[in-house]
Homo-oligomer: A and B are copies of this chain.
């Protein structure tokens, strides 16, 4: 806590002018001291923020995790000097930290906001994400928490070109999120020049209204107009989200740069900073607190502490409900097991929620939707918003599971990557993976998803081969921190495991093993069944193959892989229903090569040509990932010199 004067509660409108000047001065000072940052993008929004935090944002700065607090999200994350200057004004960041910590190594005042700061809900900086994330928080507030907090999102005008902004407004109006307020800082200038619409506020208004928002158009430097608009916006009794369109001037307050192109993302040199500060009336060190929230009208559903990345223990027994059980040998699709397990989880844990992208009858999320309609959110065909809503729900400590076809999570990769930076705990389930889907063709075949998901920081990547393991892994995901991903298969395949079996994340199953093993066959998902069939064929010739079900692709069970390689003289056959780069095979080769000096030779069967339509069997054979190809690859390794 800064050693500043005792904060007051709320300020009158006249005082917001002083506060705005301080926010501008501090934006200039912090960015100049750091030698980088975006002062002009901060100055345009300083009046908006002064009025917002001084008179409207209901926030207990001493209890940033308080359930009743309003939320403040900087979708224009590059205006971090302004946000951190707000924190100084609130008395939670010292002037010293602002001047020596901004953008410095090891410090928490990063170039773009992240939840390294307790007042930040989500990381921003990839534009067009803060508002979609805010939709998720607002969904929680209106439908789950049922607490009258508001979600205030500051957007830049450049990011209005991102389709994700319109996905967000579409969903905000569909779900009547009157607790969501987007404030658009329309300063006319982007990074390299004017924005598309510049100061055509009418065009913005028509778009936002057409997407179902209540629109308030103001001069973003007129404090009274701002105050009036935020008063209106903060009244959540209606049924629409609010968009405040604020006409502003980039660099406002420093005449040398006001409304000038060429000053995006550039701190002022020392001499210019001095002139700016002088023109703004000099340094100030006000501490200002706005209204505090009323206590939540009823206690929110109790929630456990949000698990921290790295800290979550595998297991998740605390949230596991009664699991469905499957009979050995029955053909059950892993996507069906996903739906079953989700329903069981929902029974056991009221904080489990589900979302889907208009394919819930394929992913089997519809089973959860029928069982717990109040905890299911249909996101229609808007995968970016699907993931962003999950991130927003995780801000409010819910346990979101979002599903769509595995291929279509590629649409949301930027959001998934940012979810990791946001330290969000989100669970993604992608169905219909690989050529196994058959006739629909390559547009519907996820063949890049494992690579994409593995590369996300701190992610968990799971690919079960049967219903028992799929259901167990869904339960594991519920208590897993960070971004976790489950890949499920379209078709039904035999149940391999009995109900008592456990599937810890980071583990694997050795399904065939003997001291006479001469080759190791490794599969996951659909190819595990092909590995088993290949092993049976080899066994007919008295060739013993070890078979590993590598259901946990990240983290990976290096120990079992190394042991298998040692026993089988380094001979490995890996088969995966994925392009050859970055998936199961890469996970194995990465793990083995780092494990120490070994002699290794791996035949890697993967989808190397562009597939077309066909049956599952035809396409797996054509890709060379079926039992026959695995068997041949094993024989070739054994016959090689």
Contact = CB atoms under 8 A, between A and B. Distances in A.
Contact of A454 (B411, B421, B572, B581): B581
A381 B127 contact: yes
A283 interface: no
Could you say which of A159, A599, A602 has the most chain B C-beta atoms within 10 Å of its C-beta? A602
A354 to B, nearest CB: 13
A169 to B, nearest CB: 10
A511 interface: no
A383 B209 CA distance: 24
Nearest to A309: B610
Contacts of A586: 581-582, 586, 589-590
A421 B610 contact: yes
A158 B358 contact: yes
B105 A612 contact: yes
Could you say which of A362, A380, A438 has the most chain B C-beta atoms within 10 Å of its C-beta? A380
Contacts of A421: 442-443, 610
Interface stretch (A240-248, A273-281, A286-294, A455-463): A455-463
Contacts of A105: 612-615, 618-619, 622
Contact of A581 (B362, B579, B587): B587
A341 to B, nearest CB: 20
Contacts of A385: 163
Interface string A378-412: 00111111000000000000000000000110110
Contacts of A2: none
A600 B598 contact: yes
Contacts of A35: 439
A331 to B, nearest CB: 19
Interface string A116-138: 10000001111110000000000
A620 to B, nearest CB: 11
A568 to B, nearest CB: 12
A613 B104 contact: yes
A36 interface: yes
A618 B103 CA distance: 12
A441 B358 contact: no
Interface string A562-588: 000000001010000011111101110
Contacts of A125: 440-444
A348 interface: no
Given A111-B613, A191-B359, A444-B111, A163 B166 contact: yes
Contacts of A582: 451, 454-455, 581-582, 586
B599 A604 contact: no
A162 B158 contact: no
Nearest to A78: B440
20 contacts: A105-B614, A105-B618, A112-B440, A114-B443, A125-B444, A126-B407, A159-B381, A161-B382, A192-B361, A195-B380, A207-B210, A410-B414, A448-B455, A451-B582, A457-B610, A582-B586, A589-B592, A598-B600, A599-B599, A599-B600
Given A127-B381, A162-B411, 10 more contacts: A35-B439, A103-B614, A111-B613, A112-B444, A125-B443, A161-B380, A163-B164, A209-B210, A586-B590, A598-B599
